[in-house]
Structure 1
Amino acid sequence: MTRTAQRVFEHRRIWRVTPDALREACLLLFAAISRDHPTVDHVVGIANGGVAPAHILAARLGVKPRTVQARHNTDDDLYRQATGKVTVDFDAFHRTLGHRELDGTILVVDDICGSGATLRELRNALTPVLAPDSRVITATLCLNTGAQTCPNYSVWAVSDWVSFPWEKRPDQPTTDLPIPDRVTSHA
């Protein structure tokens, strides 16, 4: 039995990603990914949280964004620990491909890498539709310090809960994450 990484929650604050910080984070991710990968052929956003950043990155990269439904938490309660049980609606995603293979460089985007389980599970789910020469890279806005699997790129390292612009704002006070000035490469 594989043990699921535990997300780190210091319970000091609830971080909030502002729209301005989101925009800057996506610009920085675009610059870092473009520097390391001259061509990105596909962008896949993990729904729900990866959809907005995936659309921003896909527009900058000049490719059509795709979405795959994946769920790790059973609900959106604050400070929910990872279960290790990730569900991926891969059949719906595969139908949107027209049952074709993904070739070239595929960028998978999510809002946060909490434990790493969602990125791991999605990479496994994509394997049957990858062309032999394809390469999967991953990017997240946030990386929880408890994650065992890291994305290739992340912007903020966090040790508390994070609220994103597309989510209902928590009933508790939040602290804005600073406007980022760099991306971390975990390659």
Structure 2
Amino acid sequence: MTRTAQRVFEHQRIWRITPEALSDACLLLFAAISRDHRKVDHVIGIANGGVAPARILAGRLGVKPRTVHARHNADDGLYRQATGKVTVDFDAFRHTLGRKKLGGMILVVDDICGSGATLHKLRNVLTPILAPDTRVITATLCLNTGAQTCPDYSVWTVSDWVSFPWEKRPDQPTTDMPIPERVTSHA
């Protein structure tokens, strides 16, 4: 049995990503990805958290965003550890493709890489629908220090819970995430 990485929660604060910080983070991701890759052909957001940043990045890259639904948490409660079991609803995504395979450069986007299991699972699920020349890269807004698998790009490295603009604001006090200054490349 494979043991799932444990996300690190120091319980020092709940980070809150403001809409301004989200916009700045996506701009930095766009710049880093564009610098390293001549062209991105497809952007796939992992729902729910990856949808908003994927839409922003797809708009900047001039491609249509796509969505795949995946879930790794049992619920949305604060400080929950991942279950180790990632579920992916791939049928709707596959249906939109028909018999077509995806080719070129694919960017998969999520809000956070907590353990790395969701990104790992999605790469495996995508494999049968990829053309032979396809390359998949990944980007997340946040990377938890407990992750075993890193995305290719991340903005913030965290050791506590993160609240995103599309989520219900926690009942506890939050600390605004600092405006980002750079992207980390893990490739």
- The one-letter code matched in structure 1 to 2:8 is V
Q: Which residue of 1 aligns with 2:87?
A: 87
TM-score normalized by the length of structure 1: 0.99
TM-score normalized by the length of structure 2: 0.99
1:98 aligns with 2:98: yes
Offset at 1:71?
0.4
Cα separation, 1, equivalents of 2:175 and 2:98: 43
Offset at 1:99?
3.0
Cα separation, 1, equivalents of 2:99 and 2:141: 30
Offset at 1:97?
1.6
Task: Show CA shifts across 1:120-161 (max 9, x none).
Answer: 000000000000000000000000000000000000000000
Task: Show CA shifts across 1:25-62 (max 9, x none).
Answer: 00000000000011000000000000000000000000
Unaligned runs of 5+ in 2: none
Task: Show CA shifts across 1:99-131 (max 9, x none).
Answer: 310100000000000000000000000000000
- The one-letter code matched in structure 2 to 1:88 is V
Unaligned runs of 5+ in 1: none
- The one-letter code matched in structure 2 to 1:145 is T
Cα separation, 1, equivalents of 2:100 and 2:16: 38
Offset at 1:83?
1.2
Equivalent residues, number = 187
Runs (4+) of structure 1 exceeding 6 A deviation are none
- Report the RMSD for the aligned CA atoms in angstroms: 0.5
Q: Name the SS for the 2:28 alignment partner.
A: helix
Identical-pair percentage: 84
